[in-house]
């Protein structure tokens, strides 16, 4: 019973094995990819392990406080930022091994040529609630 | 939810296991009976405030059985029209083992994963709704619904009258108590209720041991965190805020269990908690006896976590050097190993090492409250060293 974030990067992860930009895939390959992702989420809901998922737009803005009575300062997007998150899925599973197994399956989503992308996903555990008994 | 016409939800839920047991003994399969039971609970919450039944349990049996028949008839009609369902409930064989106990066994059956067993136990034994369980564990209701129906399918072929293993039940109840989030449902209180209910249907010193352990830890709840959620370590807790009634009950249950001379891990853990509860101040804690109980516990479980906690106790009983020596024999990849090392180094007077280890332990902490606590420890030592 632990939650994990499966993090997909636009940038910042090592290169995938089948590393072809999506706009070079055929429309049918894109459809197959989307279908795979939907099926994967549906399957996780069925196993009682799905918590949520979200895709993010590639462009973001940095914002910070600029002092009392002043509007926040915005900056960016920064083209040089190394890490760019594309989206995530949150799962609730019984073990770390199960989290790895599912990330592996998600990474097998089909891409160019209908072959698995073998994309690198980052698996990050959630910090939990503190246990009552620690002594 | 706060209106004057409110059903005593805990009383209602406490009837769940026996009513469900009756349905199953009348011949309903477990999954369908459980659904019917949930429907009856919802109906009771709706109807009872204005029309309280004279016999709540009988009312639930009647309503749940009717729901079960309706659902089964609909199913049967779809599948095989020639199969007539007998409207009159069969008496069913007299139970060899208590129905409630059987339900605990079924819901923590070894074929279930821990999270499924927890969810099924809270629903079928605890009478909580899927929504409440989903909220408690911070997952969507649809996901929890699937987890529960999958769990039901997993145990569908398990015979209801088969005796189970108490140890698996206790592990599930321990998980409910120890690893819940803080949502609308008070999972710790629910775990105590379910364990107390279990002590009523089975006479077993480890069940009593677990109940005592829960009560003794629950007693410290108010003192364990500050209003902002920060952890307060045992030694710094305001002991006047400990719940003396809960401690007294836990100690009494534990003593009765220990007197039966069938020691198990939960009794040993409860004995340690009782020794802490017994000390008027942290300085008066009987650490020598606590080390002895950890030795017992290590013999019973052979758990590295126990040996880690033992090293802390040794550090208190025989000094930080002895604690560090005990720690040196353990794998340093164990969770909280670094935090224990930091604490023992600080007590040994090596503040620089302690500060560094606290920061490292914070980085590895599995939960936010512990991480913040360890970061504060590092900050406290660093501030002291640099002034």
Which run of H or E residues covers position A29?
helix A27-46
Q: Look at the block and give the residue holding tokens 């246990």.
A: A131
- CATH code for the domain in which residue A77 is found: 3.30.70.1060
Comparing alpha-carbon positions, the chain A residue that sits nearest to B115 is A1
Number of domains in chain A: 1
Antiparallel, parallel or unpaired: β A122-125 and A50-55: unpaired
- Dihedrals phi, psi of A125, to nearest 5 degrees: -70, 145
pLDDT at B77: 67
Cβ within 8 Å, pair A50-B140 = yes
Note down the domain range covering A82.
2-125
Number of domains in chain B: 1
Kindly state whether residue A105 falls inside one of the protein's structural domains.
Answer: yes
pLDDT at B44: 95
Comparing alpha-carbon positions, the chain A residue that sits nearest to B210 is A133
For residues B155 and B40, the answer to whether their CB atoms sit within 8 Å is no
Chain A residues within an 8 Å CB radius of B333: none
pLDDT at B107: 96
Cβ within 8 Å, pair B367-A125 = no
Kindly state whether residue A134 falls inside one of the protein's structural domains.
Answer: no
Rg (CA), chain A: 18
For residues B371 and B361, the answer to whether their CB atoms sit within 8 Å is no
Cβ within 8 Å, pair B179-A128 = yes
Comparing alpha-carbon positions, the chain A residue that sits nearest to B214 is A133
Kindly state whether residue B201 falls inside one of the protein's structural domains.
Answer: no
Choose among B150, B179, B181: nearest Cβ to A48.
B150
* B178 vs A: CB within 8 A: yes
**Cα gap B306→B370, rounded to integer Å:** 19
Note down the domain range covering B49.
9-79
Chain A residues within an 8 Å CB radius of B180: 129
* B273 vs A: CB within 8 A: yes
Kindly state whether residue A44 falls inside one of the protein's structural domains.
Answer: yes
Taking an 8 Å Cβ-Cβ cutoff, which residues of chain A contact chain B? 1, 3, 44-52, 92-94, 125, 127-135
Interface test with B, best of A101, A130, A134 (most B CBs within 10 A): A130
ipTM surpassing 0.95, yes or no? no
**Cα gap B262→B252, rounded to integer Å:** 16
Q: What average pLDDT does range A21-48 have in this prediction? A: 94
Q: Look at the block and give the residue holding tokens 């802490």.
A: B276
* Cβ neighbours of residue B331 closer than 8 Å, sequence gap 6 or more: B304, B337
pLDDT at B85: 47
Choose among A45, A127, A134: nearest Cβ to B146.
A45
Could you list the pLDDT tens digit for every one of the 387 residues in chain B?
444 567 888 889 999 999 999 999 898 999 999 999 999 999 999 999 999 999 999 999 999 999 999 998 877 766 654 444 444 455 455 555 688 999 999 999 999 999 999 999 999 999 999 999 999 999 999 999 999 999 999 999 888 877 889 999 999 999 999 987 666 789 999 999 999 999 999 999 999 999 999 999 999 999 999 988 899 999 999 999 999 999 999 999 999 999 999 999 999 999 999 999 999 999 999 999 999 999 999 999 989 999 999 999 999 999 999 999 999 999 999 989 999 999 999 999 999 999 999 999 999 998 989 999 999 999 999 998 776
Cβ within 8 Å, pair A1-B137 = yes
Sign of CA dihedral B187, B188, B190, B194: positive
Asked if the model's pLDDT at residue A74 lies above 90, the reply is yes
* Cβ neighbours of residue B94 closer than 8 Å, sequence gap 6 or more: none
- Provide the shortest C-alpha distance from residue B95 to chain A (in Å): 33
DSSP for residue A116: B
Cβ within 8 Å, pair B114-A46 = no
Interface test with A, best of B115, B233, B370 (most A CBs within 10 A): B115
Cβ within 8 Å, pair A1-B175 = yes
């Amino acid at each position: 019973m632990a939650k994990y974030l499966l993090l997909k990067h636009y940038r910042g992860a090592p290169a995938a094995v089948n590393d072809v930009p999506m706009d070079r895939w055929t429309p049918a390959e894109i459809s197959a990819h989307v279908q795979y992702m939907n099926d994967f989420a549906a399957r996780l809901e069925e196993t009682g392990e799905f918590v949520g998922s979200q895709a993010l737009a590639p462009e973001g803005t940095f914002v910070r406080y600029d002092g009392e009575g002043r509007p926040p300062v915005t900056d960016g997007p920064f083209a040089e930022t190394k890490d760019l998150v594309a989206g995530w899925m949150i799962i609730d599973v019984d073990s770390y091994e199960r989290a790895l197994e599912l990330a592996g399956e998600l990474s097998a989503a089909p891409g160019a040529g209908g072959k698995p992308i073998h994309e690198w996903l980052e698996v990050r555990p959630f910090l939990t609630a503190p246990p009552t008994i620690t002594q | 939810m706060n209106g004057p016409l409110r059903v005593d939800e805990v009383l209602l839920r406490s009837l769940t296991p026996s009513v469900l047991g009756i349905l199953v003994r009348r011949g309903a399969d477990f999954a369908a009976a459980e659904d019917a039971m949930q429907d009856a609970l919802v109906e009771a919450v709706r109807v009872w405030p204005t029309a309280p039944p004279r016999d709540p349990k009988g009312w639930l049996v009647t309503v749940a059985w009717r729901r079960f028949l309706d659902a089964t008839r609909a199913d049967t009609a779809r599948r095989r029209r020639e199969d007539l369902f007998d409207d009159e409930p069969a008496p069913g064989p007299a139970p060899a083992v208590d129905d409630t106990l059987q339900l605990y066994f079924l819901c923590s059956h070894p074929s279930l994963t821990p999270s499924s067993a927890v969810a099924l136990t809270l629903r079928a034994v605890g009478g909580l709704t899927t929504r409440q369980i989903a909220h408690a564990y911070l997952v969507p209701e649809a996901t929890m619904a699937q987890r529960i129906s999958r769990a039901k399918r997993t145990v569908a072929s398990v015979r209801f009258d088969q005796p189970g293993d108490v140890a698996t039940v206790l592990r599930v109840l321990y998980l409910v108590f120890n690893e819940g989030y803080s949502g609308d449902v008070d999972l710790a209180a629910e775990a105590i209720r379910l364990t107390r209910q279990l002590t009523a249907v089975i006479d077993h010193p480890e069940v009593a041991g677990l109940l005592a352990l829960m009560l003794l830890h629950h007693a410290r709840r108010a003192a364990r965190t500050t209003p902002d959620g920060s952890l307060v370590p045992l030694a710094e807790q305001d002991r006047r805020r400990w719940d003396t009634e809960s401690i007294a009950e836990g100690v009494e249950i534990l003593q009765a269990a220990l007197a039966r001379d069938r020691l198990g891990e939960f009794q040993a853990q409860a004995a340690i908690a009782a020794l802490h509860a017994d000390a008027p101040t942290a300085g008066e804690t009987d650490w020598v006896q606590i080390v002895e109980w950890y030795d017992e516990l290590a013999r019973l479980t052979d758990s590295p976590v126990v040996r880690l906690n033992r090293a802390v106790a040794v550090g208190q009983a025989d000094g930080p050097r002895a604690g560090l020596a005990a720690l040196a024999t353990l794998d340093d990849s164990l969770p909280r190993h670094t935090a224990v090392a930091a604490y023992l180094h600080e007590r040994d007077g090596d503040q620089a090492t302690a500060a560094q280890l606290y920061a490292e332990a914070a980085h590895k902490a599995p939960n936010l409250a512990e991480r913040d606590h360890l970061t504060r420890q590092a900050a406290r030592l660093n501030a002291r060293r640099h002034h």
